[in-house]
Amino acid sequence: MTVRSVAAVDLGATSGRVMIGRIGDGRLDLELVSRFPNGPVEREDGLHWDFGALYEHVVAGLAEAVRREPGIESIGIDSWAVDYGLLRDGDLLAEPFHYRDARTARGVDEVHAIAGFDELYRRNGLQFLPFNTLYQYRVDSRLADADAALLIPDLIAFLLTGRAVAEHTNASTTGLLGVDSGEWDAELAERLGIPSRILPTLVDPGETIGTLRADLVARIGKDLPVIAVGSHDTASAVVAAPLSTPHSAYISCGTWGLVGIELTEPVLTDAARDANFTHELGVDRRYRFLHNVTGLWLLSETVRAWEAEDGLAIDLPELLAAASAVTGDVPIFDANDSSLSAPGDMPARIAALLGAAAPSTRPGFARSIVESIAAAFGEAVQTASDLSGRELDSIHLVGGGSLNRLLCQATADRTGLPVLAGPVEATALGNVLVQARALGAAPASLEELRALVAATHEPELFSPR
The catalytic residue positions are 233
User: What minimum distance in Å lies between the beta carbon of 66 and ligand LFR?
Assistant: 27
Between 129 and 305, CB nearer to ligand LFR: 129
Sketch the per residue contact string, 223 through 242, with ligand LFR: x for CB under 6 A, - otherwise: ---------xxx--------
User: Does the footprint of ligand LFR cover residue 174 (CB under 6 A)?
Assistant: no
User: What minimum distance in Å lies between the beta carbon of 99 and ligand LFR?
Assistant: 5
DSSP 287-356: EEEEEEEE-THHHHHHHHHHHHHHTS---HHHHHHHHHT--S------TT-GGGSSSS-HHHHHHHHHGG
CA distance 380 to 359: 25
Residues 6 or more apart in contact with residue 331 via CB below 8 angstroms:
354, 357, 358, 359, 368
Residue 56's CB is within 10 A of a number of other CB atoms, namely 12
Residues 6 or more apart in contact with residue 157 via CB below 8 angstroms:
77, 163, 165, 167, 209, 210, 226, 228, 231
Buried b (16+ CB within 10 A) or exposed e, 135-167: bbbbbbeebeebebbbbbbbbbbbbbbebbbbb
Between 175 and 363, CB nearer to ligand LFR: 175
Between 18 and 330, CB nearer to ligand LFR: 18
User: Does the footprint of ligand LFR cover residue 398 (CB under 6 A)?
Assistant: no
User: What minimum distance in Å lies between the beta carbon of 75 and ligand LFR?
Assistant: 20
DSSP state of 379: H
Specify the pairing of strand 75-79 against strand 4-11: parallel
Between 255 and 435, CB nearer to ligand LFR: 255
User: What minimum distance in Å lies between the beta carbon of 340 and ligand LFR?
Assistant: 15
User: Does the footprint of ligand LFR cover residue 256 (CB under 6 A)?
Assistant: yes
Between 292 and 404, CB nearer to ligand LFR: 292
Between 131 and 365, CB nearer to ligand LFR: 131
The residues facing 461 across adjacent strands are 420
Sketch the per residue contact string, 346 through 385, with ligand LFR: x for CB under 6 A, - otherwise: ----------------------------------------
CA distance 370 to 251: 15
Q: Which stretch binds ligand LFR (CB under 6 A): 29-37, 111-119, 141-149, 250-258?
A: 250-258
Specify the pairing of strand 394-398 against strand 248-253: parallel
User: What minimum distance in Å lies between the beta carbon of 459 and ligand LFR?
Assistant: 21
Between 128 and 306, CB nearer to ligand LFR: 128
Residues 6 or more apart in contact with residue 24 via CB below 8 angstroms:
1, 2, 3, 4, 441
Q: Is the peptide bond before 423 cis (omega within 30 degrees of 0)?
A: yes
CB 121 within 8 A of CB 268: yes
Q: Which stretch binds ligand LFR (CB under 6 A): 78-86, 118-126, 268-276, 378-386?
A: 78-86
User: Does the footprint of ligand LFR cover residue 292 (CB under 6 A)?
Assistant: yes
User: Does the footprint of ligand LFR cover residue 99 (CB under 6 A)?
Assistant: yes
Residues in contact with ligand LFR, total (CB under 6 A)? 14
One of 49, 51, 80, 333 touching ligand LFR (CB under 6 A): 80
User: Does the footprint of ligand LFR cover residue 335 (CB under 6 A)?
Assistant: no
Q: Which stretch binds ligand LFR (CB under 6 A): 26-34, 75-83, 108-116, 381-389?
A: 75-83
| Dihedral class, residue 325 (left if φ above 0, else alpha if ψ from -120 to 50, else beta) | alpha
User: Does the footprint of ligand LFR cover residue 81 (CB under 6 A)?
Assistant: yes
Query: Count of residues for the chain?
Result: 465
User: Does the footprint of ligand LFR cover residue 300 (CB under 6 A)?
Assistant: no
Between 4 and 100, CB nearer to ligand LFR: 100
Q: Which stretch binds ligand LFR (CB under 6 A): 33-41, 74-82, 297-305, 322-330?
A: 74-82
Q: Helices then strands (H, E): number in the chain?
A: 17, 20
Q: Which stretch binds ligand LFR (CB under 6 A): 76-84, 85-93, 205-213, 373-381?
A: 76-84
User: Does the footprint of ligand LFR cover residue 258 (CB under 6 A)?
Assistant: yes
Contacts to ligand LFR by CB under 6 A: 12-13, 80-82, 99, 232-234, 254-256, 258, 292
